[in-house]
Chain A
Amino acid sequence: MSGAFGERRFEVARLRVPEWLLEVRGLGKSYGPHDDAVIASTGPQAGTAKSPLNGSVVAAWDVSFAVAAGEALGIVGESGSGKTTVLRCLAGDTAPTAGQANIRLPDGIVSLFEVAPAERRRLRIDTVSVVYQDPAEGLKLNVTAGGNIAEPLTAAGWRNFGKIRSRAEELLARTEVPLNRMDDLVRSFSGGMKQRVQIAKALANSPSVVLFDEPTTGLDASVAAGVLDLIRSLLEEHRIAAVVVSHDFSVIEMLTQRCLVMQHGRVVESALTDQLLEDPHHPYTQRLVAAARA
């Protein structure tokens, strides 16, 4: 973390975290060779994520946070600030360069970046879910809504057709997808409904951690509001640890209790979300908040 912005408040915020489900320490991702000088040549002070020394792109560096059950943490920043890189590292879509991420399971703590790829994928089935900005990434478009939900269920060992059907119905009802669309191909759905199906799929095996990557960015304003309402009530209902990545402060404000602000691959400020909106310290955060309030 650079500078003194928000560090004091971050400590205050940490006291409110009883027991984390997801803990990230010193996460970093560099495209290209990196050493201390290369890292130091990037970031908010340098005004770039691309090192002038060797051209390496330090997409994210030294990102640390912890999220408890029933809590949502936001990561906000403009495009290219590294927030999605952080999420993709946690999701297992990208290999991180540095750092650790731990998940607390009922029977112990698992280090996400150290387990074997097969174990990693198993965690993706029932422990860590991702809701992508683009439904095509999280869903099979040429499969029905019910079939998409059947995938994580069968992966978790469900072999009873009737039970799979009723679980899918339950999830689709919860995410407000009309049940008469359950057996239609997801390709035929509107953007908002695809996103609801993606959320239903992500919740199929009651994961303890859900990562949202710009969940409403592709949607128009009224549809986005509905999806946000849904996510918020789901987060309240289930004791999920959520990470919400967005460039949009209104999304972060609605869903999260705490948030990190990222710029040029670094966390520049972190605080309780309402404090951050009332009283942003870092000039970059001030600009973001001003943009959101405009």
Chain B
Amino acid sequence: MTLDGLIDERPRTELLDEYAKREIRRAMLSAVAIPGYQVPFGSREMPVARGWGSGGLQVTLATVHREDVVKVIDQGDDDGVNAVNLRRLVTSSTGARETSVAAEATVVQSRHRVPEDGLDENTVLVLQVPVPEPLRGVERDMRELARMHAEADYSRMWVSLYEDKVRNGVITQSTGYPCLVDGRYVAATTPIPRWDIPRLHDAPFLTLFGAGREKRIYAIPPYTDVEPLTFEDVPFEVEDADGACCALCGSRESFLVSLPGAPTWLCSDTDWCRRRREPSA
């Protein structure tokens, strides 16, 4: 059978053609094979602008099958405008079903959050990444960056952590905290908060990071070590809202966000919060 014979020439509704899917899947396979390593890929034009999740969308579209169940969140919220539109794009293009319950989903596309529960070995988590390069803040030269990764020369990353601690007394970097993946590559866990980082360590699910504008895909395979960079005597800490609890469900054990202008906190993961309040649902 020739390659041409494999190509289905019938008109299709999907956003990505088979060539694009194949290329993105190859990049994803490379990324899984080398945890934390940023694999370049030919980022396609998407019906969303660069910076609005075009990378995550391409990864999702190349992953999702008609029988998949898709959950898309923006800031932990299933009903955010961006989340709704991306979900509609994915389901209409691929025929997959949609859900807001993480445990039902086989593919979760997210910006900013890892859902509070329900991710298991059957889930693929896709993160939309604005800046895939963890060293971008300390070096701009692409060749130098490539060299630093190749030689695992991360001393300047450590210097930036040192500087952060010296200037502010604590490590202030919140989202995109640099982590050593599988003991080899430092990867940006952008854009999730520090809160979610311990949950990536030795996680049962596959995490795929897609950066559309920067044209990079990287991955954390299931059960991989993810170690936030931190000094031996400065323990890694997650965000702490000091006694705050969710105004709706009363949770103290979830990631909370504050309402602008009010001393009120809410669960960032809206579906998790809803299920706590309606146990029957």
Please give the residue numbers on chain A whose beta carbons come within 8 Å of chain B beta carbons, in ascending order.
118, 121, 140, 143-144, 146-148, 150-152, 154-155, 159-164, 183
Contact = CB atoms under 8 A, between A and B. Distances in A.
13 contacts: A121-B151, A140-B159, A147-B159, A150-B159, A151-B156, A152-B155, A154-B162, A159-B232, A160-B231, A160-B232, A160-B233, A161-B231, A161-B234
A155 B148 CA distance: 11
Contacts, number: 50
Contacts of A146: 162, 166
Given A152-B155, A154-B154, A154-B162, 4 more contacts: A121-B153, A143-B163, A147-B159, A160-B231
Contact of A147 (B150, B163, B231): B163
For B159, B163, B165, the residue with the greatest tally of chain A CB atoms inside 10 Å of its CB is: B159
If over half of B's interface residues share one DSSP class (helix, strand or loop), that class is named, otherwise mixed; here it is helix
Contact of B153 (A140, A155, A161, A183): A155
A235 B156 CA distance: 28
Contacts of B158: 150-151, 154, 159
If over half of A's interface residues share one DSSP class (helix, strand or loop), that class is named, otherwise mixed; here it is helix
Nearest to B152: A118
B140 interface: no
Interface residues of B, number: 17
Given A150-B159, A152-B155, A155-B153, A183 B232 contact: no
Given A161-B165, A161-B233, A151 B159 contact: yes
Nearest to A116: B151
Contacts of B156: 151
Interface in B182-214: none
Given A143-B159, A151-B159, A183 B166 contact: yes
A147 B166 contact: yes
A165 to B, nearest CB: 8
Given A146-B166, A161-B165, A151 B151 contact: no
A144 B166 contact: yes
A151 B155 contact: yes
B167 interface: yes
A164 B233 CA distance: 11
Contacts of A154: 154-155, 158-159, 162
Contacts of B155: 151-152, 154-155
Nearest to B163: A147
A30 to B, nearest CB: 26
Contacts of A183: 166-167
